[in-house]
């Protein structure tokens, strides 16, 4: 990964949940609200797109009826997006480390069955797991 991609990944990791900030809430869907806010600040388009699509956001957008709104931001399938998903799917809300399956279980326990997040994470699990697996393989921690 290039130095520029590493810097972009760090910025996206720091900013991916900015859309949870109450003052930025518009749709109530934090990836979209965060991307829109960053766009108003003139943030680099790749950063905006990574925030918009972090951690399988398209699955939750479907649940919330916001697919068209999210589609304004192209999703890149790249090692950078995979690494961002890895970071989010192996770190808990208080910064604790998780293995992927435990992190997914933690999310599913926090959100009621039938909720948008619970449904989306359940559907996204294979996609998210594949991104985590590719990142681990790139790090040399397991075969592809």
Total domain count, the chain: 1
Residues 84, 63: Cα–Cα separation, whole Å = 22
User: Is the residue at 107 inside a domain?
Assistant: yes
Q: Does residue 144 belong to any structural domain of this protein?
A: no
Name the residue range of residue 66's domain: 3-139
What is residue 141's predicted lDDT score, i.e. its pLDDT? 65
Per-residue pLDDT of the chain (144 residues; tens, 9 = 90+): 889 999 999 999 999 999 999 999 999 999 999 999 999 999 999 999 999 999 999 999 999 999 999 999 999 999 999 999 999 999 998 899 999 999 999 999 999 999 999 999 999 999 999 999 999 999 996 544
Whether 87 is covered by a domain: the verdict is: yes
pLDDT at 1: 82
pLDDT at site 142: 56
Evaluate whether residue 24 is within a structural domain: yes
Would 28 be classed as within a structural domain? yes
pTM for this model (two decimals): 0.92
Is residue 119 in some structural domain?
yes
Let me know if residue 73 belongs to a domain: yes
Separation CA 84–CA 91 (nearest Å):
11
């Amino acid at each position: 990964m290039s130095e520029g991609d590493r810097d972009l990944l760090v910025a996206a990791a720091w900013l991916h949940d900015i859309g949870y900030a109450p003052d930025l809430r518009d749709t109530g869907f934090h990836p979209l609200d965060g991307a829109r806010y960053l766009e108003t600040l003139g943030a680099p388009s790749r950063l905006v797109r990574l925030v918009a699509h972090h951690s399988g956001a398209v699955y939750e957008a479907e649940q919330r009826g916001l697919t068209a709104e999210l589609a304004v931001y192209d999703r890149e399938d790249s090692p950078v997006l995979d690494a961002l998903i890895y970071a989010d799917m192996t770190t808990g809300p208080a910064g604790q480390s998780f293995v992927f399956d435990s992190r997914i279980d933690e999310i599913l326990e926090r959100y009621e069955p039938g909720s948008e997040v619970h449904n989306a994470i359940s559907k996204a699990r294979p996609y998210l797991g594949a991104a985590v697996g590719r990142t681990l393989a790139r790090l040399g921690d397991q075969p592809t």
